[in-house]
Amino acid sequence: MAESRESPLVSLEDITRAVSVLEASPHVDRTGLIRVNPSRYGISANGTELYFKLEGMQNKGSFKLRGVVNQLENAPPEVKEGKRTLVTMSAGNYGRSFAYLCKENQLKGKVVMPDVSPANRAELIRGHGLEVQLVPTSQLKETVEQCVQKEDMLFMHPFNDLHLIAGYGSIGYELYQELTNIDIIIVCCGGGGLLAGIASYAKLSGKGSNTRLIGVEPEGAPTMYLSLKEGRAVEKPDAKSIAGGLSPPYAGTNTYQIVKEFVEEVVLVSDDEIKESVRLLYNNGLVVEPSGAAGLTALRCGKIRDIDGKKIAVIISGSNVSPQELVNIMQ
């Protein structure tokens, strides 16, 4: 095995500990890895092996649960004892997992959501007994800060928290347990937590020393893409895409540092390209939300170089798309 690399933020020990937490949790599933025919998805590649990691089959329909379980495992005693309310911000999937686990653990919580979020996602969160506050995307950060300062809530960050990132590293752990010599891993990127977690495991373990980690963002929400170009974590209050889960108004400072160290590049895809991938996946038997289809989109649309003869894993990150949303995309 190749020599591992070091990170000042998330260690291999952090991820290994998170793997143990998740394996012991009754709430987290080990998701499937399937090999698929690239030609069925419009990918012309000579000798390419293509695999999908089906995180849309995770409990609550997305990878987010992995991170939240590890965050709560490492929460302070006053939270676990129900003496302090948690607050977070989310467009849907993180909030849903957060709300579910708050209910399961009898914890108090609040979710601040962009007011452009689909109504059904807010209702799912309210259904778990949590308060939901809808605000413009540009006011998410400010609203959460008010909850922390004025009401003494504890902020659980939806993508920049190090325990969260370590939890997402468990996906990398599972990938390398099932596959060896992975050439490329393609991961959707919003705030960057998922990409940072998988990349950290790949590089810190040494198992992915020769693996190219590639992030994918929507053209309308290129926060990590711009961060890498500008050399700092940037804000983009007007971020907007059909892939709402990939459209936070800023990139995480921690995730940016990890992505800068371990990820080869971040590429951009259009909303129309994402819609076509959702349609293709559906026609091949997989219900995938727009955010979850971003990785396949980059591959299908030629945004990733040198794929002939390569072993490629794509993270299909979520399946939370309502019937009406799906109808609109399929039209």
265-287: pLDDT as tens digits: 999 999 999 999 999 999 999 99
200 and 269 within one domain = yes
pTM, 2 dp: 0.95
Across the chain, mean pLDDT equals 94
Domain shared by 206 and 224, yes or no: yes
Rg (CA), the chain: 18
Does the pLDDT at position 264 exceed 90? yes
What pLDDT shows up at residue 123? 87
Same domain, 148 and 167: no
What tens digit of pLDDT does each residue of 151-174 get? Answer: 999 999 999 999 999 999 999 999
Q: Provide the sign of the torsion angle of the four alpha carbons 163, 167, 172, 174, taken in this order.
A: positive
The pLDDT value recorded for residue 258 is: 97
Last residue of a domain, one of 126, 155, 184: 155
Angle of helix 253-262 relative to helix 223-230, nearest 10 degrees? 70
- Domain encompassing residue 286: 12-62+161-330
Count of C-beta atoms within a 10 Å radius of residue 226: 17
Nearest in space to 277 (alpha carbons), one of 50, 42, 73: 42
Give percent of the chain above pLDDT 70.
98
Residue 248 domain-assigned (yes or no): yes
Chosen domain end from 131, 155, 179? 155
305 and 214 in one domain?
A: yes
Q: Domain end: 155, 187, 209, which one?
A: 155
Does 5 map to a domain?
Answer: no
Pair (265, 148) in one structural domain:
no
329, 290 contact by CB (below 8 A): yes
Does residue 318 belong to any structural domain of this protein?
yes
Query: Has residue 279 been placed in a domain?
Result: yes
> Are both 187 and 308 inside the same structural domain?
yes
Whether the pLDDT of residue 2 is over 70: the answer is no
Q: Which of 182, 177, 213 is nearest to 198 (CA)?
A: 213
Do 272 and 214 belong to one domain?
yes
Residues 16 and 105 in one domain: no
Q: Predicted confidence band at 120 (pLDDT cuts at 50, 70, 90)?
A: confident
Q: Is residue 221 part of a domain?
A: yes
Q: What is the domain count for the chain?
A: 2
The CATH number given to whatever domain includes residue 83 is 3.40.50.1100
For 285-321, write each residue's pLDDT tens digit.
999 999 999 999 999 999 999 999 999 999 999 999 9
Distance between CA atoms of residues 241 and 222, nearest Å: 10
- The two counts, helices (H) then strands (E), for the chain are 13, 10
